Chains A and B, each alone.
Chain A
Amino acid sequence: MPVFSTVKQKTNKSCLGILSDNALMLQVKAGDLERMSLLFERHHKTLFGFLFHLTQRREASEDMVQTVFYRMLKYRNSFTVGSNFSGWMYHIARNVLKDENFGLYSRYDPISAHEEQLAGGNLADDDLEKKQSRQQLYAAMAILSEGDREILMLNRVRELNYPEISDIMGISQGAARVRVSRAIEELKKIFIKKGIKRDS
């Protein structure tokens, strides 16, 4: 089990009297299970977004959110003082994705995903333009390799920096930086091919 470490605790809100995620998780580990609901309040939406952007499946993503929180409760003893909560949570999320055979290790199928969108009724979007640009981005992401797609979505999470991403992926920080950079370059090329331009 990798050790998640952070040199600087940038998300330590304790000076405001609000407990940081790490502090809360340590309380859960100590037996105060109810604290998990506060962590749920804070993070389930972003976690759901992460899973959704990688799978395009709403119901499955909701179920996976539950599984991630269940596993964090189950394995709370492996969370230590040096651990980083978001790094740990997204590491588990990645494992859950693997287990559910979505996104990462199975073919990302934009067609059936699109069908589910039509059937399930996705994001309520007032803005047709916003919807179109979102569809464009998803289509572009579908062309990326699974690894590139995954690392860009991890990178997108505010609470995850290179130390956490490198721990999650099991690579060095330098390698993580290079991969992010390469994935961005790939996506740039796809944007050009698809004629996705920025408004000047």
Chain B
Amino acid sequence: MNDCEEYKERLADWHMGRLEAAAAEDMERHLNNCADCRETLAATAFVLDSINNLQDPEPSVQVKADFRMMLDNFKAKEKKSVFRDRICSRLLQPRLPLAYGLLILFGIGGAYLLGRSSKQELEGQELHAGVQEQKQTMLLAMLDNPLASERIKAVSYTNDLRKVTDKVIDALFTTLNNDPNVNVRLSALEALSALGNHPAVRTGLIKSIPTQDSPVIQLAIADVMLNLQEKDSVGSFRELLKQKGLDDEVKKKVKETITKLI
């Protein structure tokens, strides 16, 4: 008549509150009368409590920022594809004479299906690509956005990357040296200055000096080189001083910088 085995099997459930009222009552009555089961319960409870008391670690603040970026990007992509699907579905409803219509259907439909499958392939690749690579891809695409504000945002995302790859550094330099907007170039410069421990960054910044013609950037780059204590930049700064029409403030600062670096 040893149905303790059955009770023992359900001790965990009882402890977790998963037994329905009648069964729970029954269990409690049994426990009242069975020291052995009480002992087993204590051991079971200890194990379950140890597991439940495991502290869930606090994820870093980056997780939320990453999620925001991912969601915004996802929404933007969805808008685009909804638009395309709408066009495609309209095209697939021909009101032309049947033969002609079928021809078009095959042509467009075929192209659409082709497009669809390669899209799925790409999506499959996306899913398997690491989260960090996805972030990088999003970021690099954003650096080409027609709005300066979005490009500035993209540059600020580089601060959130766990590992800054050469691709990203190249993109930042392209931005620093070619972006039509002064403020975007300025933010790229600031992002690069935070990466001063990469030797490629220092070399790139030195090369960039004579190409900059905006006083805002010229002044900022002088600050950056001073901060990095980059003595190798002196040559480039001397070259910059030869530039025609150089702003007075810039002349002053560059001379100061050269003096401090030597």
Q: How many A-B residue pairs have CB under 8 A?
A: 103
8 smallest CB-CB distances across A and B, nearest first, come from A49-B56, A63-B131, A198-B46, A48-B59, A66-B131, A123-B57, A187-B47, A62-B63
Q: Which of B41-91 touch A at CB < 8 Å?
A: 42-44, 46-48, 50-52, 54-60, 62-64, 66-68, 70-71, 74-75, 78
Residues of B at under 8 Å CB distance from A? 9, 12-13, 16, 18, 42-44, 46-48, 50-52, 54-60, 62-64, 66-68, 70-71, 74-75, 78, 123, 127-128, 130-132, 162
CA distance A130 to B53 in the complex (A): 10
Whether A69 is near chain B, meaning CB under 8 Å from some CB there, is yes
B56 touches A48 (CB 8 A): yes
Given contact pairs A61-B59, A73-B71, A181-B9, a sample of 14 additional A-B residue pairs in the complex whose CB atoms are under 8 Å apart: A33-B71, A49-B54, A58-B60, A63-B130, A65-B63, A67-B127, A70-B74, A123-B55, A137-B51, A155-B16, A184-B12, A184-B48, A191-B46, A198-B46
CA distance A175 to B148 in the complex (A): 58
CA distance A98 to B162 in the complex (A): 23
A137 touches B66 (CB 8 A): no
CA distance A133 to B16 in the complex (A): 22
A162 touches B18 (CB 8 A): yes
Given A45-B59, A63-B132, A74-B127: A33 in contact with B74 (beta carbons within 8 A): yes
Q: How far is the CB of B166 from chain A (nearest CB, A)?
A: 20
Q: Who on chain A is nearest to B73 by CB?
A: A70
Residues of A within 8 Å of B56, CB to CB, are 45-46, 48-49, 52
Given A49-B57, A73-B74: A181 in contact with B62 (beta carbons within 8 A): no
Q: Which of B54, B58, B64, B78: most chain A CB closer than 10 A?
A: B54
CA distance A161 to B16 in the complex (A): 10
B70 touches A70 (CB 8 A): yes
Mark interface residues in A21-54 (1 if CB within 8 Å of B CB, else 0): 0000000000001101100100011101100110
Whether A142 is near chain B, meaning CB under 8 Å from some CB there, is no
Residues of A within 8 Å of B55, CB to CB, are 123, 130, 134
Residues of B within 8 Å of A191, CB to CB, are 46-47
B47 in complex: contacting residue of A123, A134, A188, CB < 8 Å: A188
